[in-house]
Amino acid sequence: MAQIFWIASLGHVVFAGILVAMQIPAMIVLSVVCILANLVALVLHRRLQLKQAMTVKMAVTLLMLSIGIWWVGPDAGFEYYFFLLLCEILISDLSVRYKVGMSVAIGSVALMAIMLPSYGIPWVTRDASVSRALQVINLMMVFLVLGGIMWRLHAITERCEHHFRRDATHDYLTKVPNRRAIFHEADMLWHQQRHFTLLLLDADHFKQVNDTYGHTVGDEVLRHLAYIVRGALREEDRLGRVGGEEFLIVFPDSTRDEALTVASRIRRCLEEQPCCLETLTLPVTFSMGLAASDEVASVQELIALADRRLYRAKSAGRDQLVMSDLEIVGPATL
């Protein structure tokens, strides 16, 4: 909403300049008052007094519009601004009750201002050419301000949609794709009939880390692991967190040997860069299970195969990589 106050203030500044050129002193004074009211509203908004800020802005603007209609009549385009005010109210983050009340107030003031002669209050007579010029100017101003508001709303919507999409597909703790997203990557490759390899990794003795040092330290270890693995991957490789301390790497168009090279790089990086906290250094290793898409008949079977091989790596003493039912690669080989 702060941007709306700035846009409105800028609009009043431009409009005041136009009124100076047209020599309408009373409206110039009202424009200056509206500029000051918008600045006051901006200050209130920054102090989180949102309702008061909007009320100040609306009250002064409605007063200006009523006087403007009375001064030059209903054919000068001031009535267009009532729709703009209604738009501002409806897109605000205020309560529904406040929005309904203010919408009724805007509609009531608009009707009263347009129907002034019915109450015995005549329009102040002005040159028809001035009214026509004001109508064009007011229409342009409403379009410009409304366009600015819509542009800001679009930018905010795009940003929120990006954040929501990222939150839906990424793990909050490690910032890598979550289980659903990484499985979707594998599923897409399978349906495209491309050859790919999966590497399932599980941090060894991670429960012991949590039990001994607490979950805060455990979270730091997970962040460190994600950072190390991400740095060891190639540009085309995809990493995701699929469980508590489990990660899955998808290697598109890659052989077992290429995946083994990356696995060796991950292990070497972990050995060279243990998780270092303020007063604690924790060396962490991975048990790994490797499976290729040409070994199975579905992507679900491929994930299950990698999981079985990971379990065998755990059973074989941890810090191991199982590549096939017959091949276990230990630390020395990696």
Q: Are 282 and 304 in contact (CB under 8 A)?
A: no
Per annotation, catalytic residue among 245, 246, 258, 295: 245
Residue 149: what are its φ and ψ, rounded to 5°? -65, -45
Residues 306, 200 contacting (CB under 8 angstroms): yes
Q: Which of 259, 156, 145, 283 is nearest to 208 (CA)?
A: 283
**Cβ neighbour number for residue 88 with a 10 Å cutoff:** 23
Backbone angles phi, psi at 203, to 5 degrees: -65, 130
Q: Residue 322 in contact with residue 316, Cβ under 8 Å?
A: yes
In the sheet with 246-252, reading across from the earlier edge strand, the strands are: 238-241, 246-252, 196-203, 286-292, 321-322, 328-329
Active site residue 245: yes
Choose among 230, 86, 250: nearest CA to 179: 250
Non-local (6+) Cβ contacts of 202 within 8 A are 243, 245, 246, 247, 286, 287, 288, 310, 314
* Helices vs strands, H then E, count in the chain: 11, 8
CA dist 216 and 270 (Å) reads 20
- Residues catalogued as catalytic: 245
